[in-house]
Amino acid sequence: MFLIKFFTASFLILIILTCCSNEPESNPVLTVYKGTIKGFVYATTTNAPIYYAKISTQPPTKETYTGANGEFILSDIIAGDYIVDAHNDGYDNDTTFVKIQHKDTVITSFILQDFSIYLDYYPLEIGNYWEYWSGAMPNFSA
């Protein structure tokens, strides 16, 4: 009986000693570094903030829209290089390049050009666009 108790106690001590290791366990969760992009969107001609302009990134991460004061915030963006695009109906797009680093906030601004200035150069209401562009007078049929 003593021999069985001795071997059982020895076996349990051996199991406890082999289970308790000083080696650190590998962390299966990768560390992800994130940052923030914030800024404003303005109109070129009036310098007024543009409401509800769409802000997106390439490669795609998140997208948001500007508030009434033209401000936007894209938070928790994974660290890396991005192209940020601002777009609103009636305006030309504007893009910028940003580099996000861990716990970094990148501040940028966009100035969008109103499409109405292009109508001074390309008056589409007079006829064929390509005839006007080449300098030839458009042909009107009566």
Beta strands in 44-115 (DSSP E): 54-58, 63-65, 71-78, 80-87, 94-100, 105-112
Range with the poorest average pLDDT among 21-30, 71-80, 105-114:
21-30
Q: What is the pLDDT of residue 31?
A: 80
pLDDT in tens, 89-108: 889 899 999 999 989 999 99
Residue 45, pLDDT score: 86
pLDDT tens digits, 56-90: 999 999 999 999 999 999 999 999 999 999 999 88
Q: Are 41 and 112 in contact (CB under 8 A)?
A: yes
pTM of the model: 0.64
